[in-house]
Chains A and B, each alone.
Chain A
């Protein structure tokens, strides 16, 4: 009994320490506590430390997990990882605590007569395979779909793609990275013809200025932000926060500049106007390495079912582009962006000074945008006009939200239009996939089908009759869940959910499959800086939990595709990766071999002749450059990056008399996305137990709203009740409210709008019109 009391007291002390650290991380942007976990480890503990990536955001911090007697008991930052250099954020330190959650899914559950019945995993997989086959037989192969995740490992994404596109022969595969990274992808592809950032995190050590575009890095990418703060302290580097809301990042920055939602498009053009007007264009760079194009405008917003859009790029010249920018003088843009002429000129002067190195960072603010592809293009324009790109400390850099949004969703290609190399519309890419997958090329359809939003619309319409949702929680994370939840509840669609914990999405499933958590299986993730990270299985999962890739393989075998999936249970991760690696052979995307990945704390691709390429398109660093010049944008046939003429266009829904507030949604440092993991970590849950609605104090005063008062937020789609928060975590501008989306008990996405960027098909969670009233 004494031992138990001691353990309990020790546990409470540990909780108390974690509470303090969690509070610190929300009060002091970028604060880090190194070696904390080691202090709690008894001296006589004989821990086996195994390396891997963190389970949470796209920064891709290296972790070391201490195991003892088959249990994970501690986490610390991997000092050998150049990403985090031994540091971790508050979520990273506490991550393993969630796997001990009492409501962990440990066995398959099958819904029978309205109740879930515990079922042997093999029986559940039999049922999934037979339902999938039966649906295809009765309704055709495009009646089945799979919705996966930026949290899926590389082998899981690869097997999902091979099963759906190669074996079954449908492009009904999309993933939740559509909700967070698709605009970055289309931005990269339209400007450079090659996805993912040209630079790497080492840029932080070289840049003089960091301009963050609609990006609260102090809470969302805290380890990178702490590296920026370190450079601020060491070298006097400056951080400029350009956003629609004052956050922890704003207060830690050298300057905070606020803009009216959607007008980032206009401000970016105004910066380019100033760069040209003041003669700050790097003429030789632009002449040698850039071309100019414009695309279609007034594209719509995808609000209607079956919406389709294909851009029609047209070449223009520098003079035409300069003429276009005349509508974007700082004086004109200041009138509607609410950014002063002085601040626009200040931003332009930072980018325009040839002696200043600048990195631009962004994440959801620019990507979750009805003109997401355009705003990505426009920030690239700034870097291209000034030649500040693909060099240490100079470059545009889109950050990712999920641990393998790059590695799995983008590189393996778990989007409807993608293949592991290239796109389904390209004959050569289909032929390559068919050859490596050993399937007839005719199996792979040449036309993309449903992107995420349209996929759930198709479920609601009854067009999709079977869907398998893996490692994601769309009924919390999709926009306009007020439509898609009832859609998923319809009898017309058989729903399979594989996950680690029960979620509002698994609540509507016909079959729930118990998935292994990441350290309970081997795998690979790919982070924001093109770094591939391998880890071995570290501990056994409980009950009949099974790696997702193995569940896909088992279902494929049951459906009669066994010869295409000849992997062994013990070594399937290695076997799959070695097969997948063939897709990227060569200097442009070559991936490190497994023996290197096993040894190193992640390796950046392209990996050529035993060396990572840190800065792509720059001949000094990138062996794929072959034009004999300093730079070579080899993703485009002419070797030139594209400067795009993209106008400012209004958001689809703006505040009006009936719905007078902008609604902006996002995240908080304590919780990761829909909270299914972090809300099961007691210290994080206690630190931030529920969502809230932030008001500007003037708006709160006008409405007579007090802190903590229950408020009803209503849009044209739905409503949500939350407590008011005034002058606490963040400060929205007047006329705007902010709500974090992690709380499944306060579903703000019942309120949001399912408008999306017509090019990337990524929804905009940052702007819709709402009214507020006391509940």
Chain B
């Protein structure tokens, strides 16, 4: 039941677009930096397989410049 956190860097000037795209992915929570093209991202998926699929979807986003894993947690689901 992975919960992972990332730093997502958008292509310059496309932070809003990246934020919207990530929020549309449902399993993502996003907090944008106020003064940099950086988003703090947390993903919450039921298993490793879905986690991999979600990561592929994120990495396919046009507005994403770089995705950097910060931390990973494994926790029982409710």
Task: Identify the A interface with B (CB < 8 A).
Answer: 2, 5-6, 8-9, 12-13, 15-17, 19-21, 23-24, 27-28, 30-34, 36, 39, 87, 226, 229-230, 686
Q: In the complex, A28→B39 CA distance in Å? A: 12
Nearest B-chain residue to A686, judged by Cβ: B71
Which residues in A have their C-beta under 8 angstroms from that of B33? 24, 28, 31-33
Apart from A23-B70, A24-B7, list 13 A-B contacts with CB within 8 A: A9-B44, A9-B77, A12-B73, A13-B29, A16-B42, A16-B73, A17-B40, A19-B70, A20-B7, A20-B71, A28-B38, A33-B33, A87-B34
Which residues in B have their C-beta under 8 angstroms from that of A28? 33, 36, 38
Within the complex, which residue of A2, A13, A21 is in contact with B3, where a contact is CB–CB below 8 Å? A13
Which residues in A have their C-beta under 8 angstroms from that of B75? 8-9, 12
A652 vs chain B, min Cβ distance (A): 42
Which residues in B have their C-beta under 8 angstroms from that of A20? 5-7, 31, 40-42, 70-71
Which residues in B have their C-beta under 8 angstroms from that of A31? 33, 35-36, 38
A90 vs chain B, min Cβ distance (A): 11
20 contacts between A and B (CB under 8 A): A8-B75, A9-B1, A12-B3, A12-B73, A15-B73, A16-B5, A17-B31, A19-B71, A20-B42, A23-B7, A24-B36, A24-B40, A28-B38, A32-B34, A33-B31, A33-B32, A33-B33, A33-B34, A226-B35, A686-B71
Nearest B-chain residue to A28, judged by Cβ: B36
Q: State whether B31 touches A16 (Cβ < 8 A).
A: no
Within 8 A of A (CB), among B27-67: 29, 31-36, 38, 40-42, 44
Q: State whether A36 touches B77 (Cβ < 8 A).
A: no
Q: State whether A6 touches B78 (Cβ < 8 A).
A: yes
Q: Is B76 an interface residue (CB 8 A)?
A: yes
A282 vs chain B, min Cβ distance (A): 35
A582 vs chain B, min Cβ distance (A): 42
Nearest A-chain residue to B71, judged by Cβ: A19
Which residues in B have their C-beta under 8 angstroms from that of A21? 31, 40
Which residues in A have their C-beta under 8 angstroms from that of B7? 20, 23-24, 27
Indicate whether A32 sits within 8 Å of B35 (C-beta atoms), given known contacts A13-B29, A16-B4.
Answer: yes
Q: In the complex, A226→B5 CA distance in Å? A: 24
Q: In the complex, A8→B40 CA distance in Å? A: 20
Task: Identify the B interface with A (CB < 8 A).
Answer: 1, 3-7, 29, 31-36, 38, 40-42, 44, 70-71, 73, 75-78
Nearest B-chain residue to A17, judged by Cβ: B42
Which residues in B have their C-beta under 8 angstroms from that of A34? 34
Nearest B-chain residue to A77, judged by Cβ: B34
Q: State whether B34 touches A19 (Cβ < 8 A).
A: no
Which residues in A have their C-beta under 8 angstroms from that of B4? 16
A235 vs chain B, min Cβ distance (A): 15
Which residues in A have their C-beta under 8 angstroms from that of B1? 9
Within the complex, which residue of B3, B35, B38, B44 is in contact with A229, where a contact is CB–CB below 8 Å? B35
Which residues in B have their C-beta under 8 angstroms from that of A13? 3, 29, 42, 44
B7 vs chain A, min Cβ distance (A): 5
Which residues in B have their C-beta under 8 angstroms from that of A230? 35
Which residues in A have their C-beta under 8 angstroms from that of B44? 9, 13
Which residues in A have their C-beta under 8 angstroms from that of B41? 20
Indicate whether A33 sits within 8 Å of B40 (C-beta atoms), given known contacts A17-B5, A27-B7.
Answer: yes
Q: In the complex, A16→B71 CA distance in Å? A: 7
Q: In the complex, A30→B36 CA distance in Å? A: 9
Q: State whether A30 touches B5 (Cβ < 8 A).
A: no
Pairs of residues from A and B, 9 with the lowest C-beta to C-beta distance, nearest first = A20-B40, A16-B5, A20-B5, A19-B71, A34-B34, A23-B70, A20-B70, A16-B42, A5-B78
Q: State whether A5 touches B77 (Cβ < 8 A).
A: yes
Within the complex, which residue of B31, B40, B73, B76 is in contact with A5, where a contact is CB–CB below 8 Å? B76
Within the complex, which residue of A19, A27, A36, A229 is in contact with B5, where a contact is CB–CB below 8 Å? A19
A79 vs chain B, min Cβ distance (A): 12
Q: In the complex, A659→B11 CA distance in Å? A: 48
A244 vs chain B, min Cβ distance (A): 27
Q: State whether A9 touches B5 (Cβ < 8 A).
A: no
A378 vs chain B, min Cβ distance (A): 34
Which residues in B have their C-beta under 8 angstroms from that of A24? 7, 33, 36, 38, 40
Which residues in B have their C-beta under 8 angstroms from that of A33? 31-34, 40
Of A15, A87, A229, most B-chain CB atoms within 10 Å: A15
Q: State whether A16 touches B78 (Cβ < 8 A).
A: no
Which residues in B have their C-beta under 8 angstroms from that of A19? 5, 70-71
Which residues in B have their C-beta under 8 angstroms from that of A36? 31, 40
Of A8, A9, A16, most B-chain CB atoms within 10 Å: A16
Q: In the complex, A2→B70 CA distance in Å? A: 28
Which residues in A have their C-beta under 8 angstroms from that of B32? 33
Which residues in B have their C-beta under 8 angstroms from that of A39? 29, 31
Which residues in B have their C-beta under 8 angstroms from that of A23? 7, 70
Nearest A-chain residue to B41, judged by Cβ: A20
Which residues in A have their C-beta under 8 angstroms from that of B76? 5
Q: In the complex, A36→B7 CA distance in Å? A: 15
Within the complex, which residue of A2, A27, A229 is in contact with B78, where a contact is CB–CB below 8 Å? A2
A222 vs chain B, min Cβ distance (A): 11
B66 vs chain A, min Cβ distance (A): 11
Q: In the complex, A31→B31 CA distance in Å? A: 12
A25 vs chain B, min Cβ distance (A): 9
Q: In the complex, A660→B32 CA distance in Å? A: 46
Q: In the complex, A12→B70 CA distance in Å? A: 14
Which residues in B have their C-beta under 8 angstroms from that of A87? 34
Q: In the complex, A15→B44 CA distance in Å? A: 13
Nearest B-chain residue to A227, judged by Cβ: B35
Which residues in A have their C-beta under 8 angstroms from that of B31? 17, 20-21, 33, 36, 39
Which residues in B have their C-beta under 8 angstroms from that of A27? 7
B78 vs chain A, min Cβ distance (A): 5
B13 vs chain A, min Cβ distance (A): 13
A18 vs chain B, min Cβ distance (A): 8
A218 vs chain B, min Cβ distance (A): 12
Indicate whether A9 sits within 8 Å of B3 (C-beta atoms), given known contacts A20-B70, A32-B33, A34-B34.
Answer: yes
Q: In the complex, A20→B7 CA distance in Å? A: 6
Nearest A-chain residue to B1, judged by Cβ: A9
B22 vs chain A, min Cβ distance (A): 13
Q: In the complex, A54→B1 CA distance in Å? A: 36
Which residues in B have their C-beta under 8 angstroms from that of A32? 33-35
Of B1, B7, B33, B44, most A-chain CB atoms within 10 Å: B33
A377 vs chain B, min Cβ distance (A): 35
Q: In the complex, A20→B32 CA distance in Å? A: 11
Nearest A-chain residue to B44, judged by Cβ: A13
Q: In the complex, A24→B31 CA distance in Å? A: 12
Nearest B-chain residue to A2, judged by Cβ: B78
Q: In the complex, A488→B6 CA distance in Å? A: 46
Q: In the complex, A167→B69 CA distance in Å? A: 59
Q: In the complex, A87→B33 CA distance in Å? A: 11
B72 vs chain A, min Cβ distance (A): 8
Which residues in A have their C-beta under 8 angstroms from that of B6? 20
Which residues in A have their C-beta under 8 angstroms from that of B3? 9, 12-13, 16
Of B5, B38, B75, most A-chain CB atoms within 10 Å: B5
Nearest A-chain residue to B4, judged by Cβ: A16
Q: In the complex, A27→B33 CA distance in Å? A: 13
Nearest B-chain residue to A21, judged by Cβ: B40
Q: In the complex, A30→B32 CA distance in Å? A: 14
Nearest B-chain residue to A683, judged by Cβ: B71
